[in-house]
Chain A
Amino acid sequence: MIVTIAAKELRILFGSPLAWIILGVLQLLMAWVFLNQVDAFLGVQGQLLQLVNPPGVTEMVVAPLFGATAMILLIITPVLAMRLIAEERRNHTLPLLLSAPLSLGAIVLGKFLALWLFLCLIIALAAAMALALIAGGPLDIGLLLVGLGGLVLLAACLAALGLYFSSLTAHPAIAAISGIAAALGLWLLDIAVQQVAPLRALSLLQHFGRSNSGLLDTADVGYFLLFAATFLMLTVLRLDRDRLP
């Protein structure tokens, strides 16, 4: 059932121009960042050779590319998520799902899965560009894989967060803007509260930054999984509350 709902969401997403425009425009942006980084790397390559332990191409090109991809995901995920519940509510299509023999959990998980898969497609396009560097020399595959894993987990968090904000309202635009504000807020928490360690630990940037520099920490993985699970559960509770008088 979860798969049926996910397939339906993806079918509707790809049936509208939105998915294709997002994929095209993002590819353009990511390619721009990528080429800029490659250019910068080529410019300083000579000087790097004189260092004792110089940073490689993976650190200088791939990590900034993934960082930019994360920033892009942060902004577009709420836009994609707004359709999932807020727009269904506005178009009065939710009763189809609510009167079918499905649990709210299955509905929410199906929608989450569809969004996550779509974000993974964007990440795969970024990864494909990074992998193309293999043609020019060796890559640090370990660093690349950990960065990629961090990006996939971050996408899960953003999808769950976006879905929750989508469940709060019947106005897709409000869902998108509040979702972006919340995601940015969590991101910036890192800069805003330099002094307060417990608050800093809540920042998405803090955790993503570490995985993007090649550090695989179970604490970060745990943070991402808990974050996503929390917002998925909040979404289920919110939908359940709609039924109550």
Chain B
Amino acid sequence: MSALDLDLYRGEVLGLLGPNGAGKSTAMQLLSGNLAPSSGSVEICGVNLSAQPEAAKAHLGYLPEIPPLYRELAVGEFLRLAARLHRVPKAKLDAAVSQALQRCGLDEVAKRLIGNLSKGYRQRLGIAQAIVHNPSVIILDEPTTGLDPLQIREIRELIATLGRTHGIILSTHILAEAEALCDRVLILRQGRAVFGGGMAELRRQWQEDGASENGLEEMFVRLTRQETLP
């Protein structure tokens, strides 16, 4: 990755777009403190991630590409653990867990073992662990993979609701999803940002070049085509 510069504001959903291998997941690992940058810095709610990692991570919820779930635990138990690890006070644990269960539609499987869940439920549980402690910044790496259309709709509604009060960064390769959810997008290619701005802006820029039916997709292809950057 090089020269990546991004700001996220409260009440905003930022989409990271790009072809496979463009650096979306790497960017998210850097933002969540799972990787350390060789240069540059990350600030979460004004706290520097490398100087005060614990204080900065307290504001953060992160869903990696592969949801980090312990197969041996039950769903409710796991969310309790995630909440404890994120320093939710003991008195508020039950409320936080039941809210996360309800928001992600996991109520009916709360007592099931994670090892026995279907992929869709695991993905939802992955989102639940990222939001159980009500963080200011939520980072979701491809939150809707493995879900059926109905679940995708539910999760998108959830993200849109959360996006009004939190700052959300999500990565996706589904353009329609970005268009439906994101206030702004950042298109990555070979570790560099090739476009940053609102979806409307992206559309406008394309139309100036000469519009077509699936303009968005064309635009994406053109921006991210695998040619070496100058």
Contact = CB atoms under 8 A, between A and B. Distances in A.
- Are A and B interaction partners? yes
Interface of A: 1, 4-5, 8, 11-12, 15-16, 91-103, 243-245
A91 B53 CA distance: 24
B73 A243 contact: no
B77 to A, nearest CB: 8
A93 B57 contact: no
A99 B86 CA distance: 9
B82 interface: yes
Most interface-central of B37, B54, B85, B86 (chain A CB within 10 A): B85
B70 A99 contact: no
Interface of B: 29, 32-38, 53-55, 57-58, 60, 62, 64, 66, 68-73, 77, 81-82, 84-87, 129
A161 to B, nearest CB: 25
Describe B's contact surface by its main secondary structure: loop
Contacts of A99: 32-34, 57, 60, 62
Given A95-B32, A95-B68, A101-B55, 10 more contacts: A11-B72, A11-B77, A92-B64, A99-B33, A99-B34, A99-B60, A101-B54, A102-B85, A103-B53, A243-B36
A15 B72 contact: yes
A5 B84 CA distance: 9
Q: Lowest 7 A-B CB distances belong to which pairs?
A: A96-B68, A15-B72, A99-B62, A100-B85, A92-B66, A93-B68, A101-B58
Contact of B69 (A4, A93, A100, A103): A93
Nearest to B77: A11
A242 B87 CA distance: 24
B52 to A, nearest CB: 10
Nearest to A11: B73
Contacts of A95: 29, 32, 34, 62, 64, 68
A16 B113 CA distance: 12
A100 B86 contact: yes
A245 B35 contact: yes
Given A4-B84, A4-B85, A96 B55 contact: no
A102 B54 contact: yes
A156 to B, nearest CB: 25
Given A92-B64, A93-B70, A98 B129 contact: no
Contacts of A97: 85
B81 A8 contact: yes
Contacts of A4: 81, 84-85
